[in-house]
A and B are shown apart, each in its own frame.
Chain A
Amino acid sequence: MDTIIPSENLTRFIFHRNNYRPSNNTVKYNVFLPNPNDGKTSVFRISDLSDNDIWNIGKNIREKPAIGRADIISEKVLSKNLKIIPSEPPKYHADISNWPAESSEQKLIALELAEEAQLFLIK
Chain B
Amino acid sequence: MSTAITYNEYQNTSNSLSSGIEPFSNQIIEEISNLLNSVESNQSYSAILGKNNEMQQELNELFLECSENDWDGYDANSLIESAYFEAMRFIQSISSIHSFPTPEIVPEPTGEIGFEWYKENRQVFIVSVSGKNELVYAGLFGPNKVHGTEYFGDSLPSIIITNLKRLYT
Residues of A within 8 A of B (CB): 13, 15-16, 18-19, 21, 26, 28-30, 33-37, 42, 62, 64, 66, 102-105, 107-108, 111-112, 115
In the bound complex, do residue B140 and residue A33 qualify as a contact, i.e. CB atoms below 8 Å apart? no
Contact of A107 among B62, B66, B74, B126 (CB under 8 A): B126
* Interface membership of B153, Cβ < 8 A: no
Tell me whether chain A's interface is mostly helix, strand or loop, or mixed: mixed
8 Å CB interface, B90-125 against A = 104, 106-111, 114, 116, 118, 121-122, 124
Could you mark each residue 71-82 of chain B with 1 if its beta carbon is under 8 Å from any beta carbon of chain A, else 0?
A: 111111100000
In the bound complex, do residue A35 and residue B148 qualify as a contact, i.e. CB atoms below 8 Å apart? no
Task: Return chain A residues, CB-CB under 8 Å to B108.
Answer: 30, 33
In the bound complex, do residue A64 and residue B73 qualify as a contact, i.e. CB atoms below 8 Å apart? yes
- A64–B74 Cα distance when bound, in Å, is 11
* Interface membership of B149, Cβ < 8 A: yes
A113 to chain B, nearest CB (A): 11
In the bound complex, do residue A29 and residue B147 qualify as a contact, i.e. CB atoms below 8 Å apart? no
Known: A35-B74, A108-B146. 6 other contacts (CB 8 A): A15-B73, A18-B65, A104-B136, A104-B147, A107-B137, A107-B147
- A103–B106 Cα distance when bound, in Å, is 15
In the bound complex, do residue A28 and residue B106 qualify as a contact, i.e. CB atoms below 8 Å apart? yes
Interface residues on B, range: 35 or more
Could you mark each residue 119-151 of chain B with 1 if its beta carbon is under 8 Å from any beta carbon of chain A, else 0?
A: 001101010100000001111100001111100
In the bound complex, do residue B62 and residue A18 qualify as a contact, i.e. CB atoms below 8 Å apart? yes
In the bound complex, do residue A36 and residue B110 qualify as a contact, i.e. CB atoms below 8 Å apart? yes
Q: Which 6 A-B pairs have the closest CB atoms?
A: A15-B73, A104-B147, A108-B138, A107-B138, A108-B147, A36-B110
Which of B66, B71, B136 gathers the greatest number of chain A CB atoms within 10 Å? Answer: B136
In the bound complex, do residue A28 and residue B116 qualify as a contact, i.e. CB atoms below 8 Å apart? yes
- A19–B111 Cα distance when bound, in Å, is 14
In the bound complex, do residue A42 and residue B106 qualify as a contact, i.e. CB atoms below 8 Å apart? no
Task: Return chain A residues, CB-CB under 8 Å to B109.
Answer: 30, 33-36
Task: Return chain A residues, CB-CB under 8 Å to B122.
Answer: 115
Task: Return chain B residues, CB-CB under 8 Å to A62.
Answer: 73
B74 to chain A, nearest CB (A): 6
